[in-house]
Amino acid sequence: MDSLPFVFSNQPKWRVLRHVVFWFLWFVFQVFLYSFSPSPALQQKTFLERINFTAPESLIYLVPHILMAYSLMYMVIPRFVITGRYGRAVVLTTIIFLITAFISGLLSLTIIEYLRNFRSQQFIPNQNIIHSQPLYIPLGGAMLAGLRGSITIGGLAAAIKLMKCFYEKEQAALSMEKDKVSAELQMLKAQLHPHFLFNTLNNIYSYTQDVSVVASNMIFGLSELLRYMLYECNQPFVPLDKELKMIGDYIALEKVRYDEHLDLSVNMPSSSGTLRIAPLLLLPLVENCFKHGASKMIRDPWISIELTLNENLLVMKLINGKTPGVKASPSGIGTANTQKRLDLIYAGKYEFQALDEEDMYIVNLKLWLDYAPFDKPIEPIIYFNESRKNIQLSDR
């Protein structure tokens, strides 16, 4: 997209230039169109005289055309068409067409009509004649005539907007896929063979069971995390229960690392049925609570993690304390990638809010998930060691 900034760039200078050029070309097209096919009153005039007549009229008609185009491009398409709410899109588009046609009809019967009479030197005011004819009869015809031009420019603007949206979404998906492949290649270069890694961890786990229960549990938890990341996350979606269990394992490891110095409150659903979610979508947000919250506080670090389910709506609220008056540390690529994945995978199906308060940082996420046709119900989350008893499980 960088090679075509005039078409795809969202920088203000390019956007303004792009819109100015678009409406200038449409204005020129309208002027020449109505000059080649003039009304009966202009047929005896020369082509240049016709342009002199049609140019002001085309400029006035730009008002309803602009209203139509921007209503479709910035309200109907992004809010209803892209999100799949086609019924509402059809109803709203019909209303916008009627409003635009009504405005075009009023302009045609008032400003345009008076302008034509004035410029052709045939304007003779006669209030009796004007008021003796009902307004709705000529207004209906003028609305139909105005609707013709409105549909043309509306369809053109909508087509351009849709093509741009689909192209940008495709490019974002390709960019994310490229980043994913690059990250996987880097991981493959650095990682040991998974079987060797897990066998080694299991051996260490067996040796530490008699020495330190905490250490053996941490090794086992780390092994489970690595197993999930290497083997379970290759699919576009995974069962939500597995994702929640992975988050619980990660929190348990962090809790042991902080010992008793961290005030940690965790509330997660014990089972989520057959809901599914994109893998490793929530982990960066939880990780930031520890990385940019607890680890930066000198005294009394605290974190609150709450996940609730209401049918297929997942609500996640993360709150971590921070030193008063200190601006929150930048979250790095983790949250940025999460935001990109939400835009691509859950467009129109999520709400995300991050608040940087005086003494805390708050993240609110609402995510509408899909169900998967699993043959068997997924087992609820089970924590296997003593260090995880402090994690509170609840059915919501």
What confidence tens digit (pLDDT) does each residue in 94-107 have? 898 888 888 888 88
Q: In this structure, are 254 and 177 located in the same domain?
A: no
Q: Is residue 365 part of a domain?
A: yes
How sure is the predictor about 14, in pLDDT bands with cuts at 50, 70 and 90?
Answer: confident
Average pLDDT of the residues of the chain: 75
Nearest to 116 by CA among 188, 57, 29, 170: 57
Q: Is residue 226 part of a domain?
A: no
Q: Is residue 344 part of a domain?
A: yes
- Six token digits for residue 12: 């203000």
Edge to edge, the sheet with strand 360-368 lists 350-356, 360-368, 313-321, 302-310, 263-269, 392-394
The residue that leads in pLDDT, 259 or 362, is: 362
**CB contact at 8 A, 388 and 248:** yes
**CB contact at 8 A, 248 and 283:** no
Q: In this structure, are 353 and 270 located in the same domain?
A: yes
Nearest to 303 by CA among 295, 312, 311, 315: 295
How sure is the predictor about 91, in pLDDT bands with cuts at 50, 70 and 90?
Answer: very high
Task: Calculate mean pLDDT across residues 310-324.
Answer: 87
Least confident of 1-5, 292-296, 339-343: 1-5
Alpha-carbon gap, residue 124 to 67, rounded angstroms: 33
Summarised one tens digit per residue, pLDDT across range 206-258 is: 667 766 777 777 777 787 777 787 777 778 888 999 889 888 888 888 887 77
Q: Is residue 347 part of a domain?
A: yes
Q: In this structure, are 240 and 176 located in the same domain?
A: no
Burial class (CB in 10 A: 0-12, 13-18, 19+), 318: buried
Cα-to-chain-centroid distance, residue 246: 26
Q: What is the CA radius of gyration of the chain?
A: 32
Q: Is residue 197 part of a domain?
A: no
Q: In this structure, are 163 and 64 located in the same domain?
A: yes
Last residue of a domain, one of 151, 182, 213: 182
Task: Calculate mean pLDDT across residues 82-89.
Answer: 86
Alpha-carbon gap, residue 106 to 113, rounded angstroms: 10
Summarised one tens digit per residue, pLDDT across range 251-287 is: 888 887 777 778 888 999 888 888 999 888 898 888 8
Q: Is residue 188 part of a domain?
A: no
Burial class (CB in 10 A: 0-12, 13-18, 19+), 285: buried
The residue that leads in pLDDT, 34 or 343, is: 343
Alpha-carbon gap, residue 13 to 15, rounded angstroms: 6
Task: Calculate mean pLDDT across residues 376-395.
Answer: 36
* Residue-level pLDDT at 365: 93
State the distance between the two ends of the chain, measured CA to CA, in whole angstroms: 45
How sure is the predictor about 48, in pLDDT bands with cuts at 50, 70 and 90?
Answer: confident
CA angle 315, 264, 355 (to 5 degrees): 50
The residue that leads in pLDDT, 44 or 178, is: 178
Pairing of strands 302-310, 263-269: parallel
| pTM of the predicted protein model | 0.48
Alpha-carbon gap, residue 78 to 172, rounded angstroms: 17
Q: In this structure, are 173 and 280 located in the same domain?
A: no
* Residue-level pLDDT at 298: 60
Residue 313, pLDDT > 90, answer: yes
Residue 72 phi, psi (nearest 5):
-70, -45
Residue 137, pLDDT > 80, answer: no
* Residue-level pLDDT at 309: 92
Q: In this structure, are 151 and 271 located in the same domain?
A: no
Alpha-carbon gap, residue 73 to 154, rounded angstroms: 9
Residue 374, pLDDT > 50, answer: no
How far CA 288 is from CA of 24, 36, 205, 339, 340, in Å, comes to: 49, 65, 28, 14, 17
* Residue-level pLDDT at 308: 92
How sure is the predictor about 124, in pLDDT bands with cuts at 50, 70 and 90?
Answer: very low
Q: In this structure, are 78 and 167 located in the same domain?
A: yes
Residue at token pair 């921070």: 322
* Residue-level pLDDT at 376: 43
Residue 190, pLDDT > 60, answer: no
Q: In this structure, are 387 and 240 located in the same domain?
A: yes
**CB contact at 8 A, 67 and 104:** no
Q: In this structure, are 157 and 249 located in the same domain?
A: no
Nearest to 160 by CA among 73, 99, 222: 73
The residue that leads in pLDDT, 25 or 374, is: 25
Q: Is residue 290 part of a domain?
A: yes
For residue 265, the domain's CATH number is 3.30.565.10
Q: In this structure, are 176 and 293 located in the same domain?
A: no
Task: Calculate mean pLDDT across residues 106-126.
Answer: 67
How sure is the predictor about 130, in pLDDT bands with cuts at 50, 70 and 90?
Answer: very low
Q: In this structure, are 133 and 245 located in the same domain?
A: no
Q: Report how many domains make up the chain.
A: 2
> What is the extent of the structural domain holding 132?
5-182
DSSP assignments along 133-194, one per residue: S-THHHHHHHHHHHHHHHHHHHHHHHHHHHHHHHHHHHHHHHHHHHHHHHHHHHHHHHPPPH
CA angle 74, 79, 82 (to 5 degrees): 100
Q: In this structure, are 138 and 256 located in the same domain?
A: no
Alpha-carbon gap, residue 396 to 308, rounded angstroms: 6
Summarised one tens digit per residue, pLDDT across range 141-161 is: 667 766 777 778 888 888 888
The answer for residues whose C-beta is within 8 angstroms of residue 318's C-beta and 6 or more apart is: 285, 286, 288, 289, 303, 304, 305, 306, 362, 363
Q: Is residue 216 part of a domain?
A: no
